[in-house]
Structures are given as structure tokens and as C-alpha cells.
Amino acid sequence: MGKSGQAEKGAPPSLPPKNPKRSLISSVLNFAKSPVPFLIFVPSCLALAFVQYLLWSRLEGLETGQPGDGIYLIFPCSFSFHGLTGQHVSSSLCAHPLSVSAGRSYSSSPSSSSAPPPPSLTRPEDQRNPLLQIREDPPPLYRGKPASYFGAEGLQGWSLLRQHGIVGLLPNGKPGYERAPTPPPQAQLNMEDEMRKGGGFHRRLSDSLPLDRPIRDFRDTVCKRQEYDVPKMSEWAVSVIITFLNEPMSTLLRSVHSVLNRTPPALLKEIVLIDDGSTAEWLLDPLDRYINNALPDKVRLVRLPQNRGLMGARLAGAEAAEGRVIMILDSHIEVQPQWLEPILSRISEGDDVVVTPQIDAIQAVDFDFTSSEGIGCYLDFKWTLVERAYLTGGVTSAETKASPVMAGGLWAMKRELFFRLGGYDPEFSVWGAEHLEFSFRIWLCGARLECAPCSRISHVFRKGEGRGYKIPLEAVWKNRLRTAAIWMDDFAEISEAYNYHPGLEIGNFEHMWDLKRRLNCKPFEYYLANVAEKNVIRKHEDVLSLGEVQSALRPELCLDLRNTREGGNGVGMQVCNQNGRGPQGWLLIRSAGQIRLIHLWITDHEELCLAAPNRVVQCNDASSKWQFVERPGRERDGRKAFSITWKQGGTSKCLAPPSHSPSELQLQDCNEDALHQIFLLEGFPNHKWARPRDALKGGSRDEL
């Protein structure tokens, strides 16, 4: 070899001499520069990517219910393949809060080469049903990992990956619930009869729908972007309590499946089903078999020996619950994605708080989902003692919001707090006003009531007759009057006027008086002033009078709604009936300028007000806003004297009967000396409507 280092012509090639000082690193770097690694590495990467694609492609068709070949894939949080096995589905597959499972149905027999698909969208008509083609977006944090971690293809149809595994299959791999045939179109049915037979909704349609159907996600963008620390919240795992009485099996099981499918296993301690004395055949042995063989162990059934009513059944559920938090749900709901995390996130902060979701509607007739009906994040109460719901609209903040009243069927709180507040009033009967009574108690006795706007649950609002619980009107009246007597102090007279049943027995109060003393509960005026910010009455002085509105000129005449049940809405002056009730009962609210009608014949009568000059309208009408001008020196028989005025074009007009027709009403130019323009009012409180205090068994509330 010459100096240039070139081999001499004709000489055989030779390896360079060994360099004893050459390092291992240098050798590796030199090897990497050669084409050999490229020829090995690139094909290996392509092969690995192809294998991964084949594995993930098994998830295709989950939402359309195409049958698989019996393989179940398990991807732990590290995303390394932990197993690729054919085995029977069990709840343990998803026991870890960060595990991800994706699967198809299969037989428990290793030799089985085919198996039925999961009880999902398996019929040809399902592919034509728009309700069953809904796509659900993945949450930003899924199994403790961001959605981007898994890829769009891996999360396609994510809700049907089922966070508790595939539920509803028997040990032999067959569905435990057999769907009914699809009913004829509504045009061919007597829908009134269908609704009556179905317990208030189209049961035959419900029975034909899958138990694991996709759901419309009505959450706003800000909610879908929220991330929650599931492992941190797991110490507050929830006991979901669902009570039922002769509920159609399809809606009951769909509720259970929905909770299992869309709840992280670490956050769900158990589902406690409370059977409140059902007699329906499908809820006896068939339900037992389904729960024992087709659902995970965390679903358990408690059968009460006799019917205890809705509140008694829920109380039994709370007593049986083992979780730190109890969540009450109705038996005909479907939860939306990430429904529990916002609620539990607030409760896990440790405050004494009760949290409710937003409630969207499932149409009782066609089982479609809608957000234009339902119950939003703010509920108030009417003085008739029913709730007033407001739809929330667009959500711009995920923070929970204070609400004066809860919707009775869906709420969560610490189990310890529930019993510290006394649970449900044991004297309440069946159903009615319990959510108002408990809402008042929450706010007045040291806790808070809030709504999580990012938690949304769809609920079937029944229509028509045929409901599971038969609710005697006497029970509703009793519960309302009992609520007023316990919590509303002098303001109870208003609600007692709207629910006037003086001879009705409303139970013993000793237990509730003791509870109020022990919890050092606040007066009801605190609730009105600080919590019920949209109520027309915020303080004692807002109420001017309750009862008769009497003519000062002719005291035998009183303001009267001169109509009957058959119709009419004229207002005039009639001979006083001496009790200020019925068509002569009026609530005058100084702050709102309203003269509200108290009339038991009219549905939603609390919302009807006297409007200028002599008719009744909805109370939000501008023509129903009055001013009350006191006339000192005109008092009579303990009643104060007032002129009732209405502004028209900047000029005040006075309400009065014309001289030629004392039974009519009109607006006149005001004259301070005109006695016929003056009315005598009973004032407030006047104890005309209130139940005698000595009639409250267990002592008087005045002793508190």
C-alpha cells in the first residue's frame, strides 16, 4: 500500500488494522452510519404499526353491534399489552380506575368459535333508527389519560367500551334480557292507552330499545374540556340508590346499565336497588336472575317486605348504603358522559353540600332526548309548595351554582350529612313536597344546596295516568302543610292559604322540633333574604295583606273573582263570604305590586294576578303591577285603609267601583277624599288561614 493509502493494483482487499484505543461508543456510531440499521429498523416499525392497527381495528363496529370473534383486549394504563385472551367477561377487567378495556362478546367455553353479540344494536331496524346512531364524544380525560393518548380510532364508540366491562350477558354468553319486538308506528296505536298501560310512557317502545343505547351529550364545550382526578376522588366512591315500584324492566335495567357504562369503576361503590313492594311478575324472579347472573357484584337488590312509599324506600336505601356518598336516582334515567365526576369533585372538597345535576328530558312518547325540556340548575319554590324550574341555558363556567330548591329525584350528598340532617321526615306520606322540605332544611340548618351544570342526566318525564306510585291527594296536602308548619314560621300562613285543609291530620312534630333545636336552624326569613333571590317575597314587610279586600264605603262588599269552573275571569265586588277564601282570597305583595289570587279551582292559581281594571292575568304582565297608598285615619275594625293605584301614561289612576254600579270595577282619577276609592285590608299575619298552634301535636313551633 502506497503513501496515499490506496491498495496496490491487483492486491486483495484487507481489513483495517485493529485499533486498541477505539471505544465501544465509536463502534456503535460507525455502525449506525451504515445502511444495515435502516434496513432492519424501518421494516420493524412498519410491521409493529400494522399489528397495532389490526388490534385496534377490532374496536370497529362496536356501536353498530357487529359480532366479534371472541377476543377481549385489555390495555392497562401503561399501554403495554397486558393480555390478549379469550375469557369470560367479569367486572374485574375494569376494576382499576386507570385500566382501559375494549371488547366483544364471547362464550365462556374455550372451544366456542362464535358467540352472540352484546345486547346492543343487532337488528336491521336499529340501523334505521336515528336514536341509535348517536355518536358520543370522548371526554378529555379517559381512564386517567387524555383522549389523544388513545387516538380517535381507538375511542370510536367509547361509551360502548363500557367502563365496567360488557354487562348484561349470562355465563353462557347470551344476553340476559330479550328485547321485545318493535311496536307499530304511533299513528297505528292508541297512544293514550299505550301511555296508561306503560306507567306514564310508551313502554312497548322502551322494551324494544337496547339497554346500552347511545345518548345525546348536551354538555357545553366548557364542560367537555374539564379534567378530573379520578384516583383522588375514589375515596368518596358513591352508593347509587335507585328505588322502584312496578317499574317496567326495560327502563329500570337501562338506568342500571347507563350508570355502569358511564361511571369510572373507582367512583362507583355500588348500585343499591330498592324494591318498594313490587307485584309485577317481571320484577320478581326474572329480575333476581338478571342481577345475579348478568350484572357485576356491585349491583345488589334489597326487597322491602311491604310498600313504604317513595321516601321510605329511599331512606331504606340510605340505611343499606356502604359508600361515603349516596346518590339518589330515579328508575327511568340515562346518565350522560362524565355525569358523576363534577358532582363528586365538589363533594370531595369536604364541605357540607348537597349537589344536584342538570336534568334533561327523555320524551315519554318516543324516548328521544331533548335539552329544551327538563330542570336546569336553578329551582325556586312557589307558595303553593311546588317547585319552579328554570332552564340553565348555555354554560360558561363549570363551577357549581347555589340553588334554593332541589329536584327531588336526583341528588348526592355525604351519607353522614344525610343522617345528621335527620334524613327524610318520617311523618311524610308516599310522595310530594319532600324535596322542598329537605331543601329548606339544608339551607336553614347549616348546609348548602348546589347544582353542577356540567353533570347532566336524562330523565323520562311521565305523561298521563298509570304510574307506579298511587298518590292520594290527602298525602300531598299533608306533606305540604307539614312543610309549611315546620319551616316557614309566619310565612306558613301564605302556603296554608293556598293549601287550605284545616281538618286534615298532619302528624306529630316533636321529632322535628327537637331536630331544629339540635341543629340550631335559622328562621325562614333568612332563607328568603339570602337564598331565594328570585322569589317575589324576600322579607316580612313585602307582604301587605292576606285575605279579603273590603270596600271602605260599603263594608259588606269584597273584591271577588266573579267566575266559575266553567270559565270567565272578570273581577268585581260581591257580598263578602266572611272568610276571605275561595274567589275572595287575595295575597297583596307590596314589593312586587301584585294582587295575587288564592283560588283552589284554578290550576296554578298562584300565578294569576288582578290586572287593570277588572280581570286576572299571569302575574308577570305589566298591567298587573299596582301601588298601595296607605290612608291614615280611614282604618276600621283593625283593618288598615289603602288606595290601590295603577299608573297609565305617567298618571296614577285609582281602582274603584263606579257610583252607578257598585259591583263593577274601573280606573278613576284619584281623590283622597273619595271613600269609594279606599279598601280595607286584613294585614299579615292575621292567623285566619294558619292552623291553630295547639293543633300541632308535639308542641308549638312558637316555642322554638
How remote is the C-alpha of 48 from its chain's centroid?
47
Instruction: Tell me the per-residue pLDDT of 237-262, one tens digit each, with 9 for 90 and over.
Output: 999 999 999 999 999 999 999 999 99
Question: Residues near 410 by Cβ (< 8 Å), separated by ≥ 6?
Answer: 328, 329, 330, 333, 356, 357, 359, 457, 459
- Extract the C-alpha cell encoding 237: 366512591
- Asked if residue 77 has pLDDT above 60, the reply is no
Q: Is the pLDDT of residue 110 over 80?
A: no
- How far is Cα 583 from Cα 571, in angstroms, rounded to an integer? 9
**Lowest-pLDDT range of 116-125, 480-489, 532-541:** 116-125
d(CA 603, CA 580): 19
- pLDDT bracket for residue 696 (50, 70, 90): low
What domains can you pick out in the chain, each with its CATH number? 216-473 (3.90.550.10), 474-536+688-703 (1.10.8.460), 549-681 (2.80.10.50)
In 502-552, DSSP assigns E strands to: 543-547, 549-551
Provide the terminal-to-terminal Cα distance of the chain, rounded to the nearest Å.
116
Looking at residue 52, what is its pLDDT? Answer: 61
Give the pLDDT confidence of 407-444 residue by residue, as tens digits. 888 999 999 999 999 999 988 877 788 999 999 999 99
Q: Give phi and psi for 273, each to the nearest 5.
A: -95, 125
- State the pLDDT at residue 95: 34
Is the pTM of the predicted complex or chain greater than 0.85? no
Confidence class for position 156, pLDDT limits 50, 70, 90: very low
Q: Which of 214-228, 287-301, 576-590 has the lowest mean pLDDT?
A: 576-590
Pairing, β 353-362 against β 333-335: unpaired
The 10s digit of each residue's pLDDT in 16-52 is 454 555 555 566 556 556 665 656 666 777 777 666 6
pLDDT for the residue 569: 66
pLDDT, averaged across the chain: 80
Cis (ω within 30 of 0) for the bond into 453? no
Is pLDDT above 60 for 148? no
223-252 b/e (C-beta count within 10 Å ≥ 16 → b): bbebebebeebbebbbbbbbbbbbbbbbbb
Three-class secondary structure of residue 564 per DSSP: strand
Do residues 417 and 352 make contact, with C-beta atoms less than 8 angstroms apart?
yes
The partner residues of 303 in beta bridges, in order of sequence, read 275
**pLDDT for res 687:** 78
Report residue 289 as a C-alpha cell: 336472575
pLDDT tops 80 at residue 342: yes
Pairing between β-strand 238-244 and β-strand 268-275 as defined by DSSP bridges: parallel
CA distance 154 to 7: 59
CB-hemisphere CA count at 13 Å for 507?
Answer: 22
Q: How far apart are CA 644 and CA 269, in angstroms?
A: 61
Q: Which of 326, 333, 316, 327 is nearest to 277 (CA)?
A: 316
